[in-house]
Amino acid sequence: MIKTGTRLQSQVCDTQVIVVRSSDALEDLRAGGAPMIPLDAEPAGGVDIDPAFSGGTVMGKRYVDDSGAELLVTKAGAGSLSVGTTLLEQKTAKPLPASD
């Protein structure tokens, strides 16, 4: 299982993330359709972005999946985040309570 605090990068675009909340599902974490790798690893050559996963990521936003995993994007890129073929959803901010 990928540990909380792990920094990962895409092999096909500029996307970089930090794991905020981990789950077993993240073993198949992908960006742009290609598996994500540790930040200090060298990307494999000849890997291209999958057009079905080219929606992009937004820097500073959190992405979540159904298993409770949560990622924080530290560098935006052209590839979408997914677990296998299931796209991760951008986490929406909770509204602050009204003050009188």
Measure the N-to-C terminal CA separation of the chain; round to a whole number of Å: 46
To the nearest whole percent, how much of the chain has pLDDT over 70? 99
Under the banding of pLDDT at 50, 70 and 90, the label for residue 100 is low
Please determine, for residue 2, whether its predicted confidence score (pLDDT) is greater than 70. Answer: yes
CA dist., res. 81 & res. 6, Å (int): 16
Domain ranges of the chain: 6-90
Q: Closest by alpha carbon to 20, among 90, 85, 66, 73? A: 73
Q: Closest by alpha carbon to 75, among 100, 52, 58, 98? A: 58
Query: How much is the mean pLDDT over the chain?
Result: 94
Per residue in 49-98, pLDDT tens? 999 999 999 999 999 999 999 999 999 999 999 999 999 999 988 888 88
